[in-house]
């Protein structure tokens, strides 16, 4: 027999018993044992199926919430980085912000702005050297070759991938430290050669092909418009 105090408590607040999943599972199991092995308890089977569906729904709910928070955090990062790019009053300050505050906000280890040129010795220009390693100059076609990894064909505006053997042409001696990269093709306006913005990370999981590119596409759109203003 059940103890009187426990019986009175259950009768007074039965909803507490119903809300406890472990207790209910134990009661259902006890009921099945009492009925014997030759009796099929359809209600018990239905409850098990409902429990399984509920567990799946809870897992999905947690995944959706986690993805929403991650997307919101990424959006906030991009917005802060854009504001930091808008602050400088000179092109030199713009480049300094890109390799400093912006890189820290976006949590990338290396930033490179790659410009194409038809002139020989472009890298020797004193004005370019003054801007540091963040600004790289390459020959015509360099951006398309790098974005396609030397394979040619259609080029996506934003590419996320593990680092490739071509990395040294963009990151120089630091290429050996890079494990993944985000590449954004830039349109600097009519009459100008293509350019590219590259984010390199020492974390191999930072930029993966399965990640979304919408936020980086937005950032690239803002960046190329600012570059057009500076190049006027």
**Domains of the chain with CATH codes:** 4-57 (no CATH), 77-230 (3.30.450.40)
**Per-residue tokens: 224:** 């190329």
pTM of the prediction? 0.69
pLDDT for residue 155:
87
Give the integer Cα–Cα distance in Å for 47 and 43.
6
pLDDT for residue 43:
63
Helix (H, G, I), strand (E, B), or coil: what is residue 168?
helix
**Residues ≥6 apart with Cβ < 8 Å to 231:** 188, 189, 192
pLDDT along the chain (232 residues), means of 10: 78 79 75 60 66 77 69 85 93 92 94 85 56 85 92 88 93 92 94 93 92 92 93 82
Using the structure block, give the residue that is written with the tokens 């801007």: 131
Q: H/E element holding 160?
A: strand 158-162
Give backbone dihedrals phi and psi of 130, rounded to 5 degrees, phi first: -65, -25
pLDDT for residue 30:
73
């Amino acid at each position: 027999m059940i103890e009187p105090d426990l019986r009175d408590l259950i009768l007074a607040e039965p909803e507490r018993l119903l809300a406890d999943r472990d207790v209910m599972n134990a009661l259902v199991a006890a009921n099945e044992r009492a009925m014997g092995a030759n009796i099929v308890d359809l209600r018990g089977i239905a409850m098990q199926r409902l429990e399984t569906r509920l567990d799946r729904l809870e897992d999905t709910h947690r995944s959706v919430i986690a993805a929403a928070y991650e997307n919101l955090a990424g959006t906030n990062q991009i917005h802060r980085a854009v504001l930091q790019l808008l602050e400088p009053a000179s092109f030199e300050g713009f480049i300094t912000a890109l390799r400093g505050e912006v890189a820290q906000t976006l949590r990338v280890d290396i930033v490179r702005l790659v410009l194409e040129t038809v002139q020989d010795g472009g890298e020797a220009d004193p004005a370019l050297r003054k801007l540091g390693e963040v600004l790289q100059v390459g020959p015509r076609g360099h951006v398309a070759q790098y974005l396609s990894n030397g394979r040619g064909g259609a080029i996506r505006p934003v590419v996320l991938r593990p680092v490739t053997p071509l990395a040294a042409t963009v990151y120089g001696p630091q290429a050996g430290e890079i494990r993944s990269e985000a590449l954004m093709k830039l349109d600097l306006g009519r009459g100008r050669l293509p350019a590219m913005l590259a984010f390199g990370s020492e974390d191999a999981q930072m930029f993966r092909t399965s990640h979304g590119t919408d936020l980086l596409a937005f950032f690239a759109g803002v960046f190329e418009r600012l570059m057009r203003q500076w190049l006027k």
